[in-house]
Homo-oligomer: A and B are copies of this chain.
């Protein structure tokens, strides 16, 4: 029996074992549900050991095939290693790893892309069958056996509620002083048991700092010391700065019109460089005393907390650069008062988002001229990541803004197209598009009125004439009435041209 300074519950000392021993408990065909959201707080040692075992299993003709449920994306020790060894039969609800993506797009792994607020809920309803193991990374196990999560909460509460057995990874790399930052609140799966989620403002803490568990379910405790893996952010490029400025100008207009207070309403921003550029812009802007009710704390949000522009940040995970991580650890005692980490069915709760009237800002892959948005699929390539929380926020926020540069691949791909090749957000859910060229305000507009706004304000000038041509000819000979005029034979003509010539623009 080994003791460990971060395993304060003595009855668990005899469960401490090497990652390989814990991984050995998991049989092929198992469904495992893990912690992890962005590259934060995912288990590292056990998945890596599992993948290493998979190599040997394969050589013996007994391939390891698992169903893997997570909070959202994870890091290379989990998604990359298990995808690399072809160990993933089914993946849910989000993936951001390139190797896993390749396996999904070649059909080697099945993937269900799901709204993040739903992931744990659906598991709790029993729709994913028996969960054999929850593999959860923690910063510490308390005396009473309750778990102090690490740099994300994700779906930990649901998965611990539903799993038959637990494997707990205690990660010494995670700062123990994360304790007190989490706000653990359980949304019951049993119908009839759910009450209101009592978050009335972004600041509200409604739960407990650690999660009580049935310690008899703990099959293994593994000690690790592996860092989270989140990439660096780029300094905003010119286009990203322009996008950010259009959003700031729009919000300023809303304040002037009396529709928003100067502190705005709680901000949600997706992950990535454009979102970070918006946060940088907000830090240089005029709004004060802001709050954030979002999924992920990025570097730009730490800047806002540091400057005092942002009063509070509610999220479910971190996605900070290595530099951001250093800054975070240095100031963790202050950040603990400013940051709340919630389960993703609370951070992304439609109930709370609608109540707060959030400002949702998410990227798009492509968007059509009538207001439908593709967040996931890239033409000629396949699925990129997944819808993530963008649907949770876009469907319920007071402002639902989608942003992207107007073109990709040196202008060869237009982000504005006649018909999107995959639709994740419908015309009923989108209120604004923004590109480096401008902000298309879609509120209170019919599809045809939107088309004019979108083509003129957002499309790249190279594409405006061919978008106008499509729209005008569609209005003259529509396949299906004039509410959403289309010419079905040409609806994907931009895409098929790109697939044939490498450029969405016709040859001159």
Residues of A within 8 A of B (CB): 90, 92, 104-107, 110-115, 118, 121-122, 125-129, 191-192, 194-198, 200-201, 257-261, 265, 350-351, 354-357, 372, 377-383, 387, 391, 395-396, 398, 421-429, 443-446, 448-449, 475, 478-484, 486, 488-489, 491-492, 495-496, 499
Classify the secondary structure of A's interface with B.
loop
The reply to whether B351 and A112 form a contact with Cβ atoms under 8 Å apart is no
The reply to whether A480 and B113 form a contact with Cβ atoms under 8 Å apart is no
* Residues in B neighbouring A356, C-beta threshold 8 A: 191, 194
Once the chains are docked, how many angstroms separate the CA of A172 from the CA of B163? 60
* Residues in B neighbouring A258, C-beta threshold 8 A: 126
Copies in the complex: 2
Instruction: Given A110-B449, A194-B356, output 7 extra A-B contacts at Cβ < 8 Å.
Output: A90-B446, A112-B445, A126-B259, A379-B488, A382-B480, A425-B426, A489-B496
Once the chains are docked, how many angstroms separate the CA of A484 from the CA of B421? 10
Once the chains are docked, how many angstroms separate the CA of A409 from the CA of B132? 49
* Residues in B neighbouring A354, C-beta threshold 8 A: 121, 194, 350-351
Once the chains are docked, how many angstroms separate the CA of A332 from the CA of B283? 60
The reply to whether A489 and B492 form a contact with Cβ atoms under 8 Å apart is yes
The reply to whether B355 and A194 form a contact with Cβ atoms under 8 Å apart is yes
Once the chains are docked, how many angstroms separate the CA of A484 from the CA of B104? 10
For this complex, 23 residue pairs linking A to B, each with C-beta atoms less than 8 Å apart, are A92-B444, A112-B446, A113-B483, A126-B257, A126-B258, A127-B443, A191-B265, A191-B357, A194-B354, A196-B200, A350-B396, A377-B481, A378-B480, A380-B479, A382-B478, A382-B480, A391-B395, A395-B395, A423-B423, A423-B426, A489-B492, A489-B496, A491-B492
* Residues in B neighbouring A443, C-beta threshold 8 A: 122, 127
* Residues in B neighbouring A481, C-beta threshold 8 A: 104-106, 377, 381-383
The reply to whether B398 and A483 form a contact with Cβ atoms under 8 Å apart is no
* Residues in B neighbouring A429, C-beta threshold 8 A: 115
Our pick among B114, B259, B355 for the contact of A196 (Cβ within 8 Å) is B355
The 8 closest A-B pairs by CB, nearest first: A382-B481, A105-B481, A351-B351, A196-B196, A110-B446, A107-B482, A383-B483, A191-B357
Asked, given contacts A125-B398, A354-B351, A391-B428, whether A484 binds B377 with beta carbons under 8 Å apart, the answer is yes
* Residues in B neighbouring A192, C-beta threshold 8 A: 201, 261, 265, 357
